[in-house]
Structure 1
C-alpha cells in the first residue's frame, strides 16, 4: 500500500579505501527504511558518487559531485579508514572538501575515523590523515569495524530523523556490543650483552561497547583459510560474562607462518536469547 513520505537524502562521503564501509552504511540505511519508513513517513535515499553522480563537462570532477550530491543532501556521513584521499584544487582531499561544503551549508554532518590497524600499503599515507584528525573542528566518532560503524551511524540517523518530522524513538541501547580488534605493542629492549632488540606483543582485544552485559560469552578464533590457529594463543578463551564496557585480552604469538587474518566467532546470551557475531581481523 502506498503512503506519503518525506525523502531524506543521505550522502556517503569517503576516500576509495572504504568500499566495504560504504556498502555497510547503505545497507543500514535500507534496513532503517524497512523498519521505520512507513511508521515515520520518512524515506532515506542513500547517495554515493559511484552510483549517483552523472558525468558532466565543465568544472572539475569534485565541483560536479558537490553540485549534484553535496548541495542536495540533507545529511552527510563521512568515513575515513587509512588515507585522506586525493587533493582537489580547493582542499587537501575530496572528502574533506565535501565535509566543509556540507557544514558551511548548515547540513547535518557526521564524521567517523577507523581505529583498526593500518595495513602496510597505507603506512605512507596515514600521517596525513592523523594530522587532519588532530585539526578537526568538532566532535568526530571512531569505529573498530563495519559492524561497529553501522551501530553508530544508525544511532546518528535516529537522532537526526525527528528534525525531518520523524518519531523520536531510538533503538534500545541495552544490546551488548562486543567488538574485536588486533592490538600490537612495540618496545625496544636490551639483552644481557647490551644489544638492542625490538619486541612485539600481540593480542586480540574484545571490548563490550555497551552498558549491557553479555552472559555466557565465548570467542573462538579461526584463520580465514581454515588453518589451525589454536597454538597461537597463550591461553584458551573461557566462557564467562562480559560486562558493560569491560574487555578481555587474548595474547598470542606471531610467527612467519601465522595467518594474515583471524576470524573471531563470538557467541553470548542476552535475557536468555542466543546472540552471535563473526568479525574478520587483519593482523598486519
Structure 2
C-alpha cells in the first residue's frame, strides 16, 4: 500500500580505500527504509559522487561536487580507514571539505573510522594525516569506530534510527514540511485502536512512571511494568504481550531504550495517550486521536 514520506538525502563521503563500506552504507539505508520508512514517514536516499555527480567544466572539481550533491544533502556519513584523501587546494582533502561545509550549515554529520588491520601497501603519510584530523574531530564532536563490516552496518542502521528520532536538525525539517503541508497534518493524526494488553502497558508505565521490561531468559520472558509482573512461558501469552509492545512501538507510543527489544519507555506521544486514557478509559477498547 502506498504511503506518504519525507525524502532525506544521505551523502556518503569517504576517500577511496573504503569502497566496501560505501556499499554497506547503501545496503543499510535500503534495509532501514524497508523496515522503518512507513513508521517514521521518512525515506532515506543514499547519494555519492560516483552515482549522483555529472561531468561539468568551469570550477574546482570539489566545488562542482559540493554544488551538485553536498548542498542538497540532509545527512552526511563520513568513513575513513587508512587515508584522509587528496587536497582540494582549500582543504586538506575533499572529504574533509565536504564534512566541514556540511557541519558549518548545522546539518547532521556522523563520522566512522575503521580499526581493521592495515593493508601491506599502506601510505604512511596519508595515515598520519588521518590521525591528525581524527584528533581535531574528537575535540569537535563524537566519532565512532568499528573493526568489522557486520558491526559497521548494524551501527549505521541503529544510529540512523537514533538521529531520526532525536536530532534537532532532522526534526526541524520534518516539522517545517508538516506545518506547510495540510495533507501531512491530516495524515499525522493517527486513529489508534488499543487492545486490553496495550492499555495495561500504557497505564502501568504512566501511573508508576516506570519502564517496560521484556527480559528474555532460558525459562521464558520476564515481563514487568508498574504493578504488572508476569513470567511468560506459554506461547499464546508471550505472543500477546510481545505483539502489544511491538504495536505500541510502531505507533510511536513506546521507544526501545537499548535496541534489543528488552527495555522501553513512553515517548511524548505515549504520555499523551496515557493522559487520554485517564479520562476516556471506560471499556476494553478505546480509540486515541494523536
Q: TM-score, normalised by structure 2?
A: 0.57
Contact 2:10 2:44 in 1 (8 A): yes
- 5 Å-filtered alignment, 1:47-126, equals 47-124=47-124, 125-126=126-127
Q: Please name the residue that 2:155 is paired with.
A: 152
Secondary structure class of the residue paired with 2:78:
strand
- 5 Å-filtered alignment, 1:186-225, equals none
Contact 1:158 1:169 in 2 (8 A): no
Structure 2, gaps ≥5 residues long: 166-170, 176-251, 262-290
Contact 2:11 2:47 in 1 (8 A): yes
Q: Please name the residue that 1:32 is paired with.
A: 32
Q: 1:120, 1:130 → 2: CA distance?
A: 18
Q: In the superposition, relative to structure 1, how do residues 59 and 120 fare at CA in structure 2: closer, same or farther (>3 Å)?
A: same
Q: 1:114, 1:171 → 2: CA distance?
A: 26
Q: 1:132, 1:142 → 2: CA distance?
A: 14
Q: Deviations over 1:116-170 (max 9, x none)?
A: 1111211422111111111222111111122111122112211121325495845
What number of residue pairs does the alignment pair up? Answer: 175
Structure 1, gaps ≥5 residues long: 176-284
Q: Please name the residue that 2:13 is paired with.
A: 13
Match of 2:260 among 168, 174, 183: 174
Q: Please name the residue that 2:178 is paired with.
A: none
Secondary structure class of the residue paired with 1:54:
coil
Secondary structure class of the residue paired with 1:46:
strand
Q: 1:114, 1:101 → 2: CA distance?
A: 23
Q: Please name the residue that 2:280 is paired with.
A: none
Q: 1:95, 1:170 → 2: CA distance?
A: 34
Q: In the superposition, relative to structure 1, how do residues 77 and 169 fare at CA in structure 2: closer, same or farther (>3 Å)?
A: farther
Secondary structure class of the residue paired with 2:64:
helix
Bigger Rg over Cα: 2
Q: Aligned-pair distance for 1:39? A: 2.2
Q: In the superposition, relative to structure 1, how do residues 62 and 170 fare at CA in structure 2: closer, same or farther (>3 Å)?
A: farther
Q: Deviations over 1:24-45 (max 9, x none)?
A: 0100000011111122211000
Contact 2:75 2:109 in 1 (8 A): yes
Q: Deviations over 1:152-204 (max 9, x none)?
A: 211221112132549584585338xxxxxxxxxxxxxxxxxxxxxxxxxxxxx
Secondary structure class of the residue paired with 2:87:
coil
Q: 2:33, 2:101 → 1: CA distance?
A: 27
Q: In the superposition, relative to structure 1, how do residues 68 and 169 fare at CA in structure 2: closer, same or farther (>3 Å)?
A: farther
